[in-house]
Amino acid sequence: MLTVRNLKLLQTTRKILFIMTDTHESKYFSHSPSVTRSQLLKTGSSFQKCSKESNGAIKTLKRKVKKEKIEIKYETDTSYDNVGGIKKEKWEPSTWRDQLKNIHEMRKNRDAPVDSMGCDVISDVTAKPEVYRYQVLLSLMLSSQTRDQVTSAAMSRLREHGCTIDNILKTDDQKLGQLIYPVGFWKRKVEYIKKTSQTLLDQYNGDIPKTVEDLCKLTGVGPKMAYLVMKCAWNEIQGIGVDTHVHRISNRLGWHQKPTKQPEDTRKSLEDWLPRELWSEINHLLVGFGQQTCLPVYPKCSVCLNKQICPYGRSYKSPKKSPKKLPKTEIKNEEPV
């Protein structure tokens, strides 16, 4: 590094050199010069010394720069581990955006059963808020292991009968069974509905719980129902509702690092990588897609836009249809004339 003394010497030397090379008359080189030869020689020797020190400092600095390697790190998509706040790489399916875009295209008409018979549609939106929320809860309880058409018809009968907590508790089990039949496991659901309705009256002042944890404490209510109730009844997104369609389709599309066996495992896996702003739509979107295209049995992979980017679709071979058997014709024996 240059000292202050050396810097001043450099400035003085530059000034003298400029005067010596200037062709114009200067006050320093008039008839009575103020700068003597001995001063110039002294300044020159100091300049040489200063130059040597400067060159040495520059060389040292260059050596330091060469030794220090600059490493450029590019930020990758990462997330924090729950344990110790350790940063880890975030996994996501490689083609999920294209797959989701294609599903949106195939679902653009919104004409699947879930679009006209979902739990938020078949409940009475004109009723009091607490009554509407109660009906949303009941419709989801009835929908388990039941087609949307059957659930919608059962809810229609319940609404005509009077689908309020007080009225349902006054209805005897036999009558309630007749109203919801033929939903899946209808006898068990009669028991669930009665117990849950009594709990809502006793502990929640005739309304439904406002947290997933409390909803799951109700008889006959699981995580899938709880997350959908929070979305449809309370307009809050706290998780992804995973039913049989979401579970099946997400595994077929390869949306999990390892195939999941239980819906709750599927929910946790999806929530690990799927952007939160898509949680509200993913259930409704995939349910309709599963009802129309990605069927449980004999899926329509041949017309699916994801056929080439879906692991299941690429390997799926549609079964050969056996030729229709001709109806047997009865040969009548003619009576003798």
Q: Are 193 and 141 in contact (CB under 8 A)?
A: yes
Structural tokens at position 166: 């007080």
307: left (phi over 0), alpha (psi -120 to 50) or beta: alpha
Please check whether residue 215 is in contact with residue 225, taking contact to mean a CB–CB distance below 8 angstroms: yes
Which pair of tokens denotes residue 159?
């609404």
Q: First vs last Cα of the chain: how many Å apart? A: 135
- Which one from 175, 210, 224, 300 is the annotated catalytic residue? 224
Task: Report DSSP letters for 60-86, one per residue.
Answer: HHHHHHHHS---------EEE-TTTT-
Give the whole-angstrom CA distance, residue 240 versus residue 268.
9
Cα–Cα distances (Å) from 125 to 51, 119, 128, 172, 234, in that order, read: 89, 11, 8, 26, 13
Q: Looking at residue 234, what DSSP letter applies?
A: T
- Is 300 assigned a catalytic role? no
CA distance 326 to 245: 36
Secondary structure letter of residue 334 according to DSSP: P
Say which residue the tokens 């919801």 belong to: 180
Place of tokens 């390697």: 69
The DSSP 8-state label assigned to residue 295 in this structure reads: -
Whole-angstrom distance, CA of residue 270 vs CA of residue 240: 8
Catalytic residues: 224
